[in-house]
């Protein structure tokens, strides 16, 4: 957290920083905030959050944020079965959507930088599908599996950050976040046997898990656009 202020100072050194009277952080101000984290991927927008913020006063605001992720692909994995040349081809589909609501408290000293903090409810839903086919050399063996997973995280998220107005409508933001959530997950895996297998064509199993986890969002940097 100590590094956020000097990093923003370097980024905004060439810019004309808004004076106190020009600061967009005022009662009745609305803003859109786009943030990226250390795991940001421009192809899937992993690690990005888009938020809407509105100020009741220069020191109080509320923020609603949404995040999403979607990815599909194919992976080749070695299968340690003792059979030479036997591998697995995995087709995967992964998606998630999340939302949070965070009331924020702002404070500013003798510098143009505002410090803020807050915490509020958060929830994220994950969906995953894996289709695995076993290969022997370059040929399909007909065996494999299909696994579907669903997972829900819900709890409280907290943030601590800084916001630096650089014009009447733009400010730079850096923050650190963490969350404490309850977690529920359910998965089902169906196994396919090779053709002619006397054990049968398919078998399946299910599993359910409950838990509690503390996760760190890490440092995020972004831009607020006021209107």
Q: What pLDDT is stored for residue 18 in this prediction?
A: 47
| Whole-model pTM over 0.85 | no
For residue 6, pLDDT beyond 80: no
pLDDT tens digits, 128-169? 999 988 766 555 556 788 999 999 999 999 999 999 999 999
Burial class (CB in 10 A: 0-12, 13-18, 19+), 36: middle
Query: Which one is predicted more confidently, 117 or 144?
Result: 117
Confidence of residue 11 (pLDDT cuts 50, 70, 90): very low
For residue 197, pLDDT beyond 90: no
* Section 168-186 average pLDDT: 94
pLDDT tens digits, 57-109? 999 999 999 988 888 888 877 655 555 556 778 899 999 999 999 999 999 98
């Amino acid at each position: 957290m100590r590094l956020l202020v000097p990093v923003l100072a370097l980024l905004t050194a060439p810019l004309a920083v808004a004076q106190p009277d020009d600061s967009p952080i005022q009662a009745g101000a609305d803003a859109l905030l786009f943030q990226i984290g250390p795991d940001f991927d421009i192809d899937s927008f992993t690690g990005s959050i888009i938020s809407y913020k509105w100020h009741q006063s220069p020191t109080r605001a509320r923020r609603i944020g949404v995040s999403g992720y979607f990815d599909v692909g194919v992976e080749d994995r070695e299968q340690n079965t003792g059979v030479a040349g036997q591998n697995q081809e995995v087709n995967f589909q992964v998606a998630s959507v999340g939302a949070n609501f965070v009331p924020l408290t702002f404070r500013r000293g003798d510098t143009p930088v505002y410090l803020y903090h807050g915490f509020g409810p958060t929830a994220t839903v994950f969906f995953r599908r894996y289709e695995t086919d076993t290969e022997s050399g370059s040929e399909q063996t007909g065996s494999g599996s299909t696994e579907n997973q669903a997972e829900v995280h819900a709890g409280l998220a907290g943030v601590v950050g800084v916001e630096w107005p650089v014009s009447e409508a733009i400010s730079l933001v850096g923050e650190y976040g963490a969350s404490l959530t309850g977690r529920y997950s359910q998965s089902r895996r169906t196994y396919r046997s090779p053709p002619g297998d006397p054990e049968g064509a398919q078998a399946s199993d299910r599993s359910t898990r409950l838990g509690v986890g503390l996760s760190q969002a890490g440092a995020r940097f972004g831009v607020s656009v006021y209107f």
